[in-house]
Amino acid sequence: MLLLLLVAAAAAVYSSVGHGGASAYLGILSLFGVPPREMSTSALLLNVLVAGIATVTYARAGHLSIRMIWPFMVTSVPAAYLGGLLHVAPRIYTLLLGVALLGAAVRLWWTPAERPPKPIALPVALASGAGIGILSGIVGVGGGIFLSPLMILAGWAGAKQTAAVSAAFIVVNSIAGLAGRAARGALVIGDLGPLVVAAFLGGLIGSRLGAHRLLPLHIRRVLAVTLLFVAFKNLWIWLGSL
């Protein structure tokens, strides 16, 4: 019951900012002794479900822009598949990720009020999509945790548009990462039924709050706290590996 409550709460918080919650599911499942190979697959599958709910909810609320998504997806999908094929020692990556997310969280908390978005620089978007995609496939996350702060801090979109773009981005990258894992025989699925129900309910509640109730400032602050949590989790894992 505690596991289901934690998964539902994580899904609600993450979906409110357009994320799937894979990083939180990885942490939660590890606390309950789920084997690593099963844990990463489960996290990606729950990611697809929760981010899919968020994508539909934000799209129905009028916040999803295909024009903003495609430059990132063109390069991120093949890169995420490639990342899913790779097995990389995560120690140095964990440290760099923790430091980067910590800086992004602090910066997002004090982001100025919503301002007119700037045009997305196509070469930057293509390069960013490729980099985020391969990292997502390696680690077992959807990539929204990298894309969201980039879009807001670069001034390419407001908080609600960023959440919508990130949710759709996470869905396709998570599926590509799963395909890569399946290709190398690392797709291990355990007893997901109860977790799916918990994540579905949490994702439904969180995405509706984000799309219809929360103000842009609230979404940025929730995103900042979410990034801070993931940053400290990665730094804690890195310290434990010393």
Q: What tens digit of pLDDT does each residue of 148-167 get? A: 888 988 889 888 999 999 99
Give the end-to-end CA distance of the chain in Å, rounded to a whole number: 33
pTM listed for this prediction: 0.82
pLDDT number for residue 115: 74
pLDDT number for residue 185: 75
The CA dihedral of 2, 47, 215, 212, to the nearest 10 degrees, is -90
How high is the mean pLDDT of the chain? 84
In percent, the amount of the chain with pLDDT more than 90 equals 26
Q: Label residue 133 exposed, middle or buried (CB < 10 Å: 0-12, 13-18, 19+).
A: buried
pLDDT number for residue 74: 92
DSSP 204-221: HHHHHIIIIIS-HHHHHH
Residue 227 has pLDDT above 90, yes or no: no
Residues 77-94 have a mean pLDDT of: 74
Question: How does residue 20 score in pLDDT terms, banded at 50, 70 and 90?
Answer: confident
CA 164/CA 226 separation, integer angstroms: 17
* Most confident stretch, 73-87, 94-108, 113-127, 192-206: 192-206
Between 139 and 53, the higher pLDDT residue: 53
pLDDT number for residue 173: 83
Helical (H) or strand (E) element with 176 = helix 159-183
Residue 8 has pLDDT above 80, yes or no: yes
* Most confident stretch, 6-10, 90-94, 191-195: 6-10
pLDDT number for residue 59: 94
Between 21 and 107, the higher pLDDT residue: 21
